[in-house]
Structure 1
C-alpha cells in the first residue's frame, strides 16, 4: 500500500485533555451494544470502491481530515502534538504538499452544526496493512461529549470500506428534547461521514 506515512499499530495520545471519561471506547465494536453509561452509540459502514488505488487515495484524504470536510464541515486550528513519533522516529508528518497528516494528540476545531462541532483531539491512530484510521474525541468547550472511530479497510476481496463508530452524550445535561435533537444530528453526521470519501463525492 502507498497511502502515505505508515504506522504498524495503534498509537495513543499521551495526554487526553478531553471532556469525557470513556476514552477509546469506540475502538471496540462491542460499544454499539454496550455503550458507556449515559451514552448513545452507533456504527455505520459504507463501501467506497475497490482496489489499492482507491484505498490509497481515500486513506490520504481520511488522514488529512478529508472525511469531515467531505461531510460539509470546516476543520481549522490544526495543531500536531510535538512529541508525535513517525515511523522514522521524527516529529509530526506531512504529505508532499505540506498537508499535516493526522497523528496522536493532534487538536483541531470543527465548525458546522453547533451540536456536533467544537474542539477535538486525536485519541489514537491505526495504521496497519489494509487498515488505516483514527479516533478523535471532544475537548472542553464542545457542546457534546463524543468520540468517533473512522476506519478505512481494504478487504481480501479487494473492496474498500469506511466504518464510522461513535458514542455521544450531551455535555452536562440529561437526555431531553434538546438531547434527542443532538441524537438525530449525531446520527446524520455519521451518515454523511461514511459517504464522504466515496468517489462520487470528490470535488
Structure 2
C-alpha cells in the first residue's frame, strides 16, 4: 500500500479533497458544479494493474488530447497520509521517501505534491491549467489520484480518478469525480459551458482508459 498526500496554499480553491466526499453531488463546494461518472472496464487482477498503471502515467490526460508539461516534483519529503489503528484512532502521517517511477518517454508518474501544466482544447475551447497532485493512492484494490487547480484555468476546482477492483464480483471500475467553479468570463456568463466541457472530458477519459466503452454505471 502506498498513500501520499500534499496540501498547501498554492491551490486556488478552498475545498481540497472534496471530490472524495460521499455527498459531493448533493452538496458541492460553493459556486461549483459537481460531476461524477463510473464505468466498468473489465475484471480481474491483470485488468486492474494495467488500468492503474495507465492512470498513474497520465494516460487519461494525454490520450484525451491534453499535453502534460512542466512536471515538477513536490518540494521536500513525501508523506504516507493518515491511517487508523484497530480502535479507529488516527495515526499521524509518517514521512518517507518514495521511489519516483517514469514511463517509457521519461515522464514521471503522478506523485503527491507534484505540479503539472496541462495544455489542449476541450469542446473547442482552451483547456490550459496548472495543477497540483493533491494525493495519490495505491492499495491492493484501489489506485487513484486527485488533481487540484493552481491557476490559469477557466474553472477552479478538483478532479479525482480512481480504479477499483471490487472483491464481491471481481469487476474493475473507473470512476471520475469533479467539481468546477467557473473563473473565466465566458464560463461565468454561460455556466452551461462548464457542464459541456466536463461531459467532453469524461468521454475522453473513458476512451483513454477503456477504448471498448465498457458498461456505464
* 8 A contact 1:84–1:104 mirrored in 2: no
The structure number with the bigger radius of gyration is 2
Structure 2: state its 5+ residue gaps. Answer: 81-94
Structure 1 residue aligned with 2:178 = 166
CA drift of 1:142 comes to 1.8
CA drift of 1:64 comes to 1.2
Deviations 1:6-46 (A, max 9, x none): 50x4x321424111111111011311111111100011001
Structure 1 residue aligned with 2:48 = 55
Structure 2 residue aligned with 1:119 = 130
Distance 1:125 1:187, change over 3 A: same
* 8 A contact 2:19–2:159 mirrored in 1: yes
Higher strand proportion, which one?
A: 2
Matches within 5 A, 1:146-165: 146-156=157-167, 157-165=169-177
Deviations 1:91-125 (A, max 9, x none): 55114755422111111111112454311111111
Length-normalised TM-score, structure 2: 0.79
Structure 1 residue aligned with 2:153 = 142
* 8 A contact 1:133–1:150 mirrored in 2: yes
* 8 A contact 1:82–1:92 mirrored in 2: no
* 8 A contact 1:51–1:158 mirrored in 2: yes
Q: Does 1:68 align with 2:61?
A: yes
Decide which moves more: 150-159 or 68-77.
68-77
**1:153 is paired with a residue of what secondary structure?**
strand
Q: 2 CA distance for matches of 1:102 and 1:86?
A: 14
Q: 2 CA distance for matches of 1:45 and 1:134?
A: 15
Q: 2 CA distance for matches of 1:28 and 1:76?
A: 29
Length-normalised TM-score, structure 1: 0.84
**2:199 is paired with a residue of what secondary structure?**
helix
Structure 1: state its 5+ residue gaps. Answer: 1-5
**1:34 is paired with a residue of what secondary structure?**
coil
Structure 2 residue aligned with 1:189 = 201
Distance 1:172 1:76, change over 3 A: closer
CA drift of 1:132 comes to 0.7
